[in-house]
């Protein structure tokens, strides 16, 4: 009987450290599976780390997850995933919620997963509404409703300026990145695209 932890973050800029700290501080974890940079829109079974976990887990094992939404892309996927694990004789333990079992435990997870789905949909609606308002304002006034001159993140530096500075100073990519406060990959992209 193993204690197995599963961690997932949607982008490579995020870290599993908080999830790991929450799950390992009081428990002895025997094995860990991770999906980093894997969108929550991907069904659980299609994620490389979770698929490996499914191949590893055995009857009597306990899977520890930080939150219900780590287990699936939506309420239905979460429920399918939990039911499949319960059928295998695996205990699913959600941080702050406890062990999920057949019956009432499944019902609680179904409700929580549905609430998470609803919140995700509301975030998408708010984002789309804000984007639409920004586009209208930009077309009408030349600035977004928040006073920005373009949609998206403002550029940290002008591509032509970066390229010219590199040439004038015979600078390396790293030197240009340090000078302008941007990443090496941004300097490479600016150098390749600048006229």
pLDDT in tens, 16-60: 888 888 887 656 889 999 998 887 778 888 999 999 999 999 999
* Pick from 62, 13, 1: nearest CA to 37: 13
Same domain, 181 and 107: no
Q: 114, 142, 170: which is the final residue of a domain? A: 114
**Which of the pair, 183 or 121, is modelled with greater confidence?**
183
Residues 11 and 106 in one domain: yes
The answer on pLDDT for 5 being more than 60 is yes
Number of domains in the chain: 2
Give CA 16 to chain center in angstroms: 10
Beta strands in 42-183 (DSSP E): 62-65, 91-94, 98-100
Contacts of 16 (CB under 8 A, 6+ apart): 7, 8, 9, 34, 36
Quote the pTM value.
0.59
- Most confident stretch, 10-14, 29-33, 76-80: 29-33
In a domain, 92, yes or no: yes
Is residue 71 assigned to a domain? Answer: yes
Tokens linked to 111? 């409700």
For 55, the enclosing helix (H) or strand (E) is: helix 48-56
- Helices 159-169 and 184-193 cross at an angle (nearest 10°) of 100
Q: Are residues 45 and 109 in the same domain?
A: yes
> Is residue 146 included in any domain, yes or no?
no
Whether pLDDT at 119 is above 90: no
Instruction: Check whether residue 166 and residue 109 sit in a common domain.
Output: no
Cα–Cα distance for residue pair 1/60, rounded to 1 Å:
5
Range of the domain at 173: 159-193
Cα three-residue angle 187-188-191, rounded to 5 degrees: 80
189 in the same domain as 94:
no
Among 88, 114, 140, identify where a domain stops: 114
Q: What percent of the chain has pLDDT over 90?
A: 27
């Amino acid at each position: 009987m193993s204690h197995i932890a599963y961690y997932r973050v949607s982008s490579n800029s995020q870290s599993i450290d908080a999830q790991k700290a929450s799950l390992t501080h009081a428990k002895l974890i025997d094995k860990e599976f991770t999906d980093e940079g894997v969108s929550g829109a991907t069904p659980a079974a299609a994620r490389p780390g979770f698929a490996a976990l499914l191949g590893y887990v055995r009857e009597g094992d306990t899977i520890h997850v930080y939150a219900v939404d780590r287990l699936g892309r939506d309420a239905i996927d979460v429920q399918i995933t939990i039911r499949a694990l319960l059928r295998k004789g695996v205990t699913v333990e959600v941080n702050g919620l406890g062990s999920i079992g057949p019956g009432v435990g499944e019902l609680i997870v179904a409700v929580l997963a549905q609430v998470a789905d609803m919140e995700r949909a509301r975030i998408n609606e708010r984002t789309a509404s804000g984007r639409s308002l920004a586009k209208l304002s930009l077309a009408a006034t030349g600035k977004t409703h928040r006073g920005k001159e373009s949609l998206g993140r403002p550029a940290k530096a002008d591509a032509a300026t970066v390229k010219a500075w590199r040439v004038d100073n015979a600078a390396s990519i790293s030197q240009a990145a340090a000078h302008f406060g941007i990443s090496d990959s941004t300097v490479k992209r600016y150098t390749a695209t600048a006229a």
